[in-house]
Amino acid sequence: MTTHGHPQGAAGTNLDPWYDNYAERSAGLSASEVRALFAVASRPEVVSLAGGMPFVSALPADLVTGSMERVMRDQGAQALQYGSGQGVPALREHILEVMALEGIRASVDDVVVTTGSQHALELMTKLFIDPGDVVLAEGPAYVTALVVFKSFQAEISHVAMDEHGLIPQALRESITRLKAAGKKIKFLYTVPTFSNPAGVTLTWERRVEILEIARANNILVLEDNPYGLLYFDGAPPHAMRSVEEDGVVYLGTFSKTLAPGFRTGWALAPHAIREKLILANEAAVLSPSSFSQLVIAEYLKSADWKGQINTFRGVYRERRDAMLVALRDYLPQLSWTVPNGGFYIWLTLPEHLDSKAMLPRAVKELVAYTPGTAFYADGNGRNNIRLSFCYPTPEFIREGVRRLTTVINGELELLNTFAQTAPLQTIRAEHGISGPPSDLG
Ligand SMILES: Cc1ncc(COP(=O)(O)O)c(C=O)c1O
């Protein structure tokens, strides 16, 4: 420190006198598109199809308060105390029951409770990534996983997906290319079920094939599965971890099937990795919240948690349907994915449109979405949009899509004004569209 309180030998900037002192890895911590959006999208007049906030109002408050009261009455001192770095054993037992629904058999010793699955992602990255190491990530991939990988200076190499999830041949080709270039591939990151942001699900055959490719090439698979139990039209294939124990680290969470405010998730890992995860967890937070863990354990013991998951499924199914119908009615010329669960639809715009550049116009029309580029580390996704159907009501979803149509047509008209070539088609709604509901601003 200098006597003026400025970092030694650093000029800094007007905005941040410490600018020159940050570690190199902090350069990877740029504000994501999603984050910048939250501020705007939270204004009540904006229909936000941007964030991935679960609709926690569908969880009856007394289910939670009842569990909280019993925990404070019977285990208050433990709930308010530090706990183990691996997590409360009773909760880990219940987590085995939750994972069994997706075909996973495991030992309670192999579960590590974390502060949300986001924290498990960070711990795994910290344990495995040196600067320049490669993370293979499905493309498009969950934006905040990419932020973590970048913050540990990983090189992110995307593997293409289609409507059936990751493409095995694309994975083979990526591995061959990266190995030939002398790169160290540390793991494959994937959300195989109801992916964020694409909303697609990896087929069973591909799950098996991808695990074989990973095994043959000594590549660990990081299976992130927050949405698997939130299916709409029939259960998805079992988790990849149900096939392969040694080569998969599986991440789960209570954020979507209960509530994200508990900040409680978990990692299921092979023995050796599990030991490292516990140490890394202790180094980061000493222990995950005892209070949250005990309340969730009590909830799982006493409440009809499977019935509650069914309630969530019903809510999200209705919203997914509302979005699909609105897209069909308002934007029939475009294409999108049809998710069988989860929170997201991936929309493809006409090729000339840039979804990020279009965002200010969208905000002006009072609708928000997440531009596709947020989900790629390589600038891809320009003419894609992630639409979330989890939070707004079906009426707002329909109105949001109507506003989006105005935005897209406005952009197409603008491009036509300046285009030298043949005019681009604006999008005409199909048959009988009703106006916006009167209670929407
Ligand atoms: C794919 C994926 N992974 C991880 C997370 C983080 O969830 P958690 O609340 O458990 O930290 C999310 C949250 O949206 C997600 O979509």
Query: 3-state DSSP helix/strand/coil percent for the chain, to nearest 5?
Result: 45, 15, 40
- Statement: residue 2 has pLDDT above 80: no
Ramachandran region, residue 427 (left: φ > 0; alpha: ψ -120 to 50; beta: rest): beta
Ligand 1 mean position to 214 CA, how many Å? Answer: 23
Write down the pLDDT at residue 15.
84
The pTM is what? 0.92
CA–CA separation, 162 vs 201, rounded Å?
A: 9
Taking the centre of ligand 1 as the mean of its atom positions, its distance from the CA of residue 142, in whole angstroms, is 8
The confidence score (pLDDT) of residue 305 equals 97
Given a contact cutoff of 8 angstroms between Cβ atoms, the answer to whether 384 and 346 are in contact is yes
**Ligand 1 centre and the CA of 356: distance in Å?**
23
Q: What percent of the chain has pLDDT over 90?
A: 83
Q: What is the pLDDT of residue 421?
A: 62
260: DSSP letter: G
pLDDT tens for 171-203 read: 999 999 999 999 999 999 999 999 999 999 999
Closest ligand 1 atom to Cα of 120: 11
Using 50, 70 and 90 to split pLDDT, how confident is the model at 39? confident
Q: What is the pLDDT of residue 392?
A: 95
- Residue 11, pLDDT > 60, answer no
For the chain, give the percent of residues with pLDDT over 70: 91
Residue 287 in this model has a pLDDT that exceeds 90: yes
pLDDT at 35: 62
User: Which among 390, 344, 426 is positioned nearest to 57, based on CA atoms?
Assistant: 390
Q: What average pLDDT does this structure show over 404-417? A: 90
What residue ranges line ligand 1, CB within 6 angstroms? 52, 116-118, 142, 191, 196, 224, 226, 253, 255, 260, 265
Pairing of β 165-166 and β 185-190: unpaired
CA of 194: how far to CAs of 25, 72, 117, in Å? 31, 36, 16
335-336 and 265-268 strand pairing = unpaired
Question: What stretch of H or E contains 100?
Answer: helix 89-100
pLDDT over 80 (residue 439): no
Q: Is the pLDDT at 1 greater than 50, yes or no?
A: no
* Phi, psi (rounded to 5 degrees) for 415: -65, -40
Rounded to 10 degrees, the C-alpha dihedral 292/55/320/361 comes to -120
Helix (H, G, I), strand (E, B) or coil at 157: strand
Q: What angle do CA 34, 38, 40 make, to 5 degrees?
A: 120
Q: Smallest Cα–Cα separation from 87: which of 259, 281, 262?
A: 281
Per-residue confidence (pLDDT) for residue 415, from 0 to 100: 82
Tokens 């590590």 correspond to: 112
pLDDT at position 101 is 98
Q: Which of 50, 112, 52 is nearest to 368 (CA)?
A: 50
Atom number, ligand 1, closest to the C-alpha of residue 119: 11
Residue with tokens 């971890």: 241
Residue 6, pLDDT > 60, answer no
Please state, in angstroms and as integers, the Cα–Cα distance from residue 10 to each residue in 2, 3, 6, 7, 277, following that order: 10, 13, 8, 6, 36
Mean pLDDT in residue range 265-278: 97
Mean pLDDT value across the chain: 92
The minimum-distance atom of ligand 1 relative to the CA of 263 is: 9
Residue 426 has pLDDT above 80, yes or no: no
Q: Which amino acid is at 61?
A: A
Confidence (pLDDT) at 416:
82
pLDDT, tens digit (0-9, with 9 covering 90-100), for 103-154: 999 999 999 999 999 999 999 999 999 999 999 999 999 999 999 999 999 9
Alpha carbons within 13 A on the beta-carbon side of 216: 11
What is the structure's pLDDT at 44? 87
Q: Which position has the higher pLDDT, 413 or 270?
A: 270
